[in-house]
Structure 1
Amino acid sequence: MRNLVRIAPGALELGRPLPWNVYDADGNVLLRQGYVIQTNSQLEQLFERGRFEPRKIERPHEEIFEDARERNPFADYPDLLHALETTLNAITEGDPSAQKQLMGLSRMIERTCSEAPDASLALVHLYSIGPNILEQTLFYAILSQFVARQFGLEEKRISVLTAAALTANLALVPVADQLNASNKLLTDDQRNVIQKHPQRSIQALQAAGINNKLMNTIIAQHHEQADGSGYPQGLSGSDIRPEAEILALSERYVAMITKRAYRARMNVADARRLIATLGDGKFRPAIPRALLQVLGDYPPGILVRLDNNEVGVVTSRPLRARGPFVQAIFGPRGNRYNGTFERDTSLLEFNIRALEEPEIMPSMDFSRIWGFRT
């Protein structure tokens, strides 16, 4: 029997894919992960009737996550976010198991990215409209994984970078969502919190018994810039670790494609063009180049219009002379398909014509579209 609880007001938002399945009181699925709530009346009905299955993680994360299951980033998404929240809380509280939890979560993310790379990248884009600080942090870790491998870092350094990406903004967690939701100028106190968050995050890690020299350096430097204009020390050039630059660029890309109260989100094409300019003084040129190679022209999870006028979601990056592949969701006349149809965009009739940026994302069954068993 499922342990189902009511959905708390504020847990769901209009225009944003559901992060988990929604059930009725008897345990029947009402809506699957990826469904997008379109109206306030739908939202009210879900708060009245809907239930979800809360996550209970009682053992260290590496024991829970290191199993033989097929890695499905969409099904794992709630678990990853819950594990991240409990890990950051453990660090803040000085829990003796904090380091074990952080390493277990880092390995889980590494394994997920390795076994399901396109779906892992799709998570970043499907949930990028208005992510909270925990979601953003998870996205930083995912992108850092891919960029680091493309850049050529060895595995041991990538593992440390993953842990750094998960904890570099620990000191910002209590205020980040509030800052992102505000369209007012920062106060002096808020600027002070932002300027000092790398060192305060390191202090929290050390107090919890986590004291890796490389990890501390990555966190301390992830807001430095190659031209010396960063903070807190104004480092420049090769004084900045490449791992710190990879994390910084991952954070910047997520910020570009995320909607904030004070600005609209940037589409992927514009974000790519801006990234291409960052190798001119802000970063080592090879790092923006690595991110662009990871994303491709049309990264997984974005919507595109094809030459036959269908609209679909990109599910994979190009492979040799083929792709990227798209699952068509809407027909040429705007009718919603009953199911989806795979399109190889290297074929003339299915060439990608343009990016699609609807005001509200269409509902999708993510696991089914990416071919995972449900």
Structure 2
Amino acid sequence: MSKSLIRIAPGALTIGKPLPWDVFDSEGNILLRQGYVIQTNSQLEQLFERGRFKPRKIERPKEETFEDLRQRNPFAEYGDLLTTLEVTLNAITSEDPTAQKRLLGLCRMLDKTCQEAPDASLALVHLYSISPTIHEQILFYGILCHFIARQFGLEEKRATVLTAAALTANLALVPVADQLNASNTVLTDDQRAVIRKHPARSIQALTSAGINNKLLLRIIAQHHEQADGSGYPEGLSGSDILPEAEILALAERYVAMITKRAYRNRMNITEARKLIATLADGKFRPAIPRSLLQVLGDHPPGMLVRLVNNEVGVVTRRADRTRGPFVKAIFGPRGNRYNGTFERDTSLLEYNVRAPEEPEIMPSMDFSMLWGFRS
């Protein structure tokens, strides 16, 4: 196994963020599990010096596709999804002849993961939301679009095209997005121009790579239009805007609300849900914000909450018609960290959710274990 490991590049890990994959030493011995949160600069430096990870082997797509029968574990797939996304976007910008096949393969991979493990897939959006990279943000857009589209009632073929649009609409922003998010100054005119032109530039990159699906390109062209006519680039309004474009716009807005940027703090999820509820008034078709709220529930997977008994835990399963959300308690009432985890049915009075917990640094946890996946 040690031969398949590669060194961690500086910049790939960040203090205060969960590890996206298991980290090994040069001999293949595990150092830290996925979900561990780096706490100090010295710890970060040691990982850059000693740490290795196992990358996914990205192969050239073959003419014959095969059915992937593996059980989907979104936490184990997370690093693979990000790597595949980066490779796919690079293939598009370099006009690689495999770009379209790569994009279709990535869409199938993401859709299958969301279908087989919906709560765990939604949890990725919230567990990694503190300071995500541009590739993480794009992945979150794809996950949210998958669920909103189906709740809204979009037919399957159109929903799949929407996933592809979510993964490529911000292609032109990739080189500058992390820099923009890290800036705590007012945007310059040049930066604003880059942002306003990114739908057209993303479309240009896609067509140059031989990706010409008309619906895909229309979704991207319209995803910053608004129902009241105040959007760009065409100032479209009402039914002139595709519902797919509005779904993508709402996914982007929700991710922006719950993520931290250098120039502002993030909203907690409860506040974000309240704001989404107001967006049905003129900015979106009313059914689209409602669909997102139904997908999330009052307490979406991956959200940290404090219970009535003062335990702190992670929501692992959304509420259904008979029971509240299920929570895995990770901290005891006195703030002590549990050695394991304890499932709490929050429909029971003593385990009712009292308030959201929104830490600036996510506590370390073994995501696969919390959701019952085999590591």
Q: TM-score range by the shorter chain?
A: over 0.9
Equivalent-residue separation in structure 1 for 2:146 and 2:159 (angstroms): 7
CA contact (8 A) 1:226 1:236 kept: yes
Range with greater deviation from structure 2 (304-313 or 316-325): 316-325
Range with greater deviation from structure 2 (95-104 or 245-254): 95-104
- Shift in Å at residue 62 of structure 1? 9.8
**Alignment root-mean-square deviation, CA:** 1.4
For the residue of structure 1 that corresponds to 2:277, the secondary structure is helix
Aligned to 1:17: 18
The reply on whether 1:92 has 2:93 as its aligned counterpart is yes
The reply on whether 1:344 has 2:349 as its aligned counterpart is no
Runs of 4 or more, structure 1, over 6 Å off, are 61-65
- Shift in Å at residue 64 of structure 1? 8.5
Q: Which amino acid aligns with 2:296?
A: L
Aligned to 1:311: 312
CA contact (8 A) 2:130 2:360 kept: no
CA contact (8 A) 1:72 1:372 kept: yes
For the residue of structure 1 that corresponds to 2:131, the secondary structure is coil
**TM-score with structure 2 setting the length:** 0.97
Q: Which amino acid aligns with 1:68?
A: L
Give the unaligned 5+ runs of structure 2: none
1:284-303 → structure 2 map (5 Å cutoff): 284-303=285-304
Count of residue pairs brought into register by the alignment: 374
- Shift in Å at residue 49 of structure 1? 2.0
- Cα deviations by residue, 1:223-264 (Å, 9 ceiling, x for unpaired): 000010000000001100000000000000000001001000
Equivalent-residue separation in structure 1 for 2:171 and 2:288 (angstroms): 24
Equivalent-residue separation in structure 2 for 1:291 and 1:359 (angstroms): 25
Equivalent-residue separation in structure 1 for 2:64 and 2:33 (angstroms): 28
Instruction: Say if 1:204 and 1:282 are closer, same or farther in 2 by CA, change over 3 A.
Output: same
Q: Which amino acid aligns with 2:21?
A: W
- Shift in Å at residue 7 of structure 1? 1.8
- Shift in Å at residue 56 of structure 1? 2.3
Aligned to 2:158: 157
- Shift in Å at residue 44 of structure 1? 2.2
Q: Which amino acid aligns with 1:155?
A: E
- Shift in Å at residue 349 of structure 1? 0.8
- Shift in Å at residue 96 of structure 1? 1.1
1:1-374 → structure 2 map (5 Å cutoff): 1-2=1-2, 3-60=4-61, 66-374=67-375
- Shift in Å at residue 310 of structure 1? 0.6
Aligned-pair identity in percent equals 80
- Shift in Å at residue 26 of structure 1? 1.2
For the residue of structure 1 that corresponds to 2:316, the secondary structure is strand
Q: Which amino acid aligns with 2:231?
A: G
CA contact (8 A) 1:16 1:127 kept: yes
Range with greater deviation from structure 2 (60-69 or 342-351): 60-69
Q: Which amino acid aligns with 2:178?
A: D
Instruction: Say if 1:62 and 1:333 are closer, same or farther in 2 by CA, change over 3 A.
Output: farther
- Cα deviations by residue, 1:267-323 (Å, 9 ceiling, x for unpaired): 001100110110101000110010001001110001001111110000010122113
Equivalent-residue separation in structure 2 for 1:65 and 1:331 (angstroms): 47
Give the unaligned 5+ runs of structure 1: none
- Shift in Å at residue 9 of structure 1? 2.0
- Cα deviations by residue, 1:95-132 (Å, 9 ceiling, x for unpaired): 11111110111011111110000000000000010111
Instruction: Say if 1:373 and 1:64 are closer, same or farther in 2 by CA, change over 3 A.
Output: farther
Instruction: Say if 1:61 and 1:312 are closer, same or farther in 2 by CA, change over 3 A.
Output: farther
Equivalent-residue separation in structure 1 for 2:26 and 2:88 (angstroms): 31
Equivalent-residue separation in structure 2 for 1:48 and 1:4 (angstroms): 14
Q: Which amino acid aligns with 2:156?
A: E
